[in-house]
Structure 1
């Protein structure tokens, strides 16, 4: 839980928010930082590139951040969608900071960039159904 709070604080700072906004999971939604970007590239820059790097190749250091580049796991849209919304292991559920349109945009972005060419569209309705 402490590691998740630290990650949330780092994401809040990267999004231009105040570190005090990164609250435990029980915090009201109004206390969460708001990501202003609406397009997939902007959401990626605000929420994802701090760990997955600007080129999507991931990183290793204090933790291992998986590469999104040329990633066959992104072929099925439900996989990255579930990770963004629900998180997994060290990946926090960053979908809590985004509305359905932003989640759809960033998932579409990572599936069509960094050497990926998965064109199946992800709609906001798909995100809402998975939430």
Structure 2
């Protein structure tokens, strides 16, 4: 009979603890996505505020000020990067770094609504509205 395979201590501990030895911050910085949305999931919310609360506030916080701790979640409040509507649309549709993509879970109207909400709240005053057609063109 073959001898048992020895597993290095760190690897064994990670296996036993379900991978909990890897810090969430390292995962958030190094992994393309720290979490994903379940395949087939669809948001039912329609207003930008409801969609923000359901999809964005968990990381970017209710006030849009972002957070740091287990990862870095950038502030959306008073954020000049939000002036470029296509930048925001693409990030919502396709994700960015540890941010998951929401393109499969939101339709064009929903993406436009949450982008418009984010660009007109939290101290942001970008008045040019995003349309579902713009979202569709960037999918």
Runs of 5+ unmatched residues, structure 2: 1-26
Q: State the 1:39 CA deviation.
A: 0.7
* TM-align CA RMSD: 1.7
2:35 is the counterpart of 1:7: yes
In 2, Cα distance between equivalents of 1:78 and 1:7: 23
Per-residue CA deviation, residues 13-44 of structure 1 (Å, 9 max, x unaligned), is: xxxxxxxxx2xxxxxxxx42121110100100
Decide which of 110, 116, 130 is 1:122's aligned counterpart.
130
Q: State the 1:84 CA deviation.
A: 0.5
**Residues 72/3 of structure 1: CA separation in 2 closer, same or farther (3 Å cut):** closer
Decide which of 106, 110, 115 is 1:98's aligned counterpart.
106
Say if 2:42 and 2:104, in contact at 8 Å, map to a contact too: no
Q: State the 1:95 CA deviation.
A: 2.1
Decide which of 72, 75, 88 is 1:80's aligned counterpart.
88
- Ranges of 4+ aligned residues in structure 1 off by more than 6 Å: none
Structure with bigger helix share is 1
TM-score by length of 2: 0.74
2:54 is the counterpart of 1:46: yes
Q: State the 1:3 CA deviation.
A: 7.1
Q: State the 1:89 CA deviation.
A: 1.0
Equivalenced residue count is: 110
In 2, Cα distance between equivalents of 1:80 and 1:116: 13
Q: Where does 1:103-114 land on structure 2 (aligned, <5 Å)? A: 103-114=111-122
